[in-house]
């Protein structure tokens, strides 16, 4: 079975540009999570969806960040405008539930560098 | 403030020994705690889940304990192998908010 698929794997862009990260969750999973990982702050939850509905976006750092899940098989995380401090690895994960009584399955991330 | 602490220093052990990693938390009341493995350039991979009413969970060479009084979970790998070298993260679920520790890097030397 295919796991969580993220694209692109690497993104390098200049500050001020719009960045869109994409995620395809595992088929049948109804919860989707976006995380950001940095050396300083570790793995932080940005937002999660349950049945395509955003449940908690309190981790989204500021209004420059937005996330959508138009259907059960696709989600995007957008940064506009991007800043150098947004440089990090962004992970998407999916699960059959929005509680940690089920495993979260992670993609291999998008390594984002903002110059 | 709420936080999860994992030893930031790498744990270096000899092959065949038991590795023990610690996850301490404050100001949470997690219903579940999970452990993940992360290899360089990859996403975390789920290993084990333990519930608040469980003291211990085992899976092959892995064992997890959960002490809600001490607010601590221990993760053990017995008969460690060089292939076990990775970063191990704990994660907890506190009233539908999810928090990960920063991870402990394990190096198993042959």
The pLDDT score that the predictor gives to residue A28 is: 93
Q: Is the pLDDT of residue A80 over 70?
A: yes
Mean pLDDT score of chain B, rounded to an integer?
A: 92
- Rounded Cα distance, B3 and B99, in Å: 8
Taking only the tens place, the pLDDT of each residue in A7-23 is 999 999 999 999 999 99
**Alpha carbon distance A41, A51 (integer Å):** 28
Maximum pairwise Cα distance, chain A: 40
Range list of β-strands (E), B1-110: 3-6, 11-14, 19-26, 32-38, 45-51, 56-59, 62-67, 72-77, 86-94, 97-100, 104-109
Identify the burial level of A21 via C-beta atoms within 10 angstroms of its C-beta, where 0-12 means exposed, 13-18 middle and 19 or more buried. Answer: buried
**Separation CA A73–CA A14 (nearest Å):** 29
* Strand A19-24 relative to strand A10-13, pairing: unpaired
pLDDT at A49 over 80: yes
Residues of B in contact with A100 (CB under 8 A): 30-34, 49, 91-93, 98
> Residue A100: its pLDDT value, please?
72
pLDDT of the residue at A27 = 95
Percent composition of chain A: helix, strand, coil (DSSP 3-state, to 5)? 5, 55, 45
User: Is the bond preceding residue A81 a cis peptide, omega within 30 degrees?
Assistant: yes
Whether the link from the prior residue into A8 is cis, omega within 30° of 0, is: yes
Closest C-alpha to B53, from B29, B37, B77, B21: B29
B98/A33 touch (CB, cutoff 8 Å), yes or no: yes
Among A residues 8-27, those touching chain B with beta carbons less than 8 Å apart: none
Q: B1: pLDDT confidence band, cut at 50, 70 and 90? A: low
Tell me the pLDDT band of A89, cut-offs 50, 70 and 90: very high
Contacts of B49 in chain A (CB under 8 A): 100-103
Distance, in Å, from the CA atom of B74 to the CA atom of B77, rounded to the nearest integer, reads 10
Give the model's pLDDT for residue B30.
86
pLDDT value at B95 more than 80: no
Residue A79 has pLDDT above 80, yes or no: yes
- Residue-wise pLDDT for B16-69, tens only, equals 999 999 999 988 888 889 999 999 999 999 999 999 899 899 999 999 999 999
Contact A76, A89 (CB under 8 A): no
pLDDT beyond 90 at A97? no
Residue A40: its pLDDT value, please?
Answer: 87
Please provide the average confidence, as pLDDT, over all residues in chain A. Answer: 94
Given an 8 Å threshold on Cβ–Cβ distance, is B97 in contact with A45? yes
Is A91 near chain B, with CB under 8 Å?
Answer: yes
Position B7 confidence tier, pLDDT thresholds 50, 70, 90: confident
């Amino acid at each position: 079975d295919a796991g969580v698929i993220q694209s692109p794997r690497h993104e390098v862009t200049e500050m001020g540009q719009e960045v869109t990260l994409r995620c395809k969750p595992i088929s049948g999973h109804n919860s989707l999570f976006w995380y950001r990982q940095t050396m300083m702050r570790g793995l932080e939850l940005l937002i999660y969806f349950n049945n395509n509905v955003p449940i908690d976006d309190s981790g989204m750092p500021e209004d420059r960040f937005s996330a959508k899940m138009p259907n059960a098989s696709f989600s995007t995380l957008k940064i506009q405008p991007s800043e150098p401090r947004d440089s990090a690895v962004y992970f998407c994960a999916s699960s059959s539930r929005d509680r940690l009584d089920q495993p979260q399955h992670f993609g291999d991330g998008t390594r984002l560098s903002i110059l | 403030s709420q936080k999860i602490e994992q030893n930031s220093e790498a744990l270096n052990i000899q092959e065949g020994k038991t590795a023990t990693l610690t996850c301490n938390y404050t100001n949470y009341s997690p219903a579940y705690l999970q452990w993940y493995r992360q290899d360089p350039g990859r996403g975390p991979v789920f290993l084990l889940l333990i519930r608040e009413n469980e003291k211990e969970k085992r899976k092959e060479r892995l064992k997890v304990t959960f002490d809600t009084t001490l607010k601590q979970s221990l993760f053990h790998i017995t008969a460690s192998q060089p292939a076990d070298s990775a970063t191990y993260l704990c994660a907890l679920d506190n009233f539908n908010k999810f928090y990960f520790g920063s991870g402990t890097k394990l190096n198993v030397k042959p």
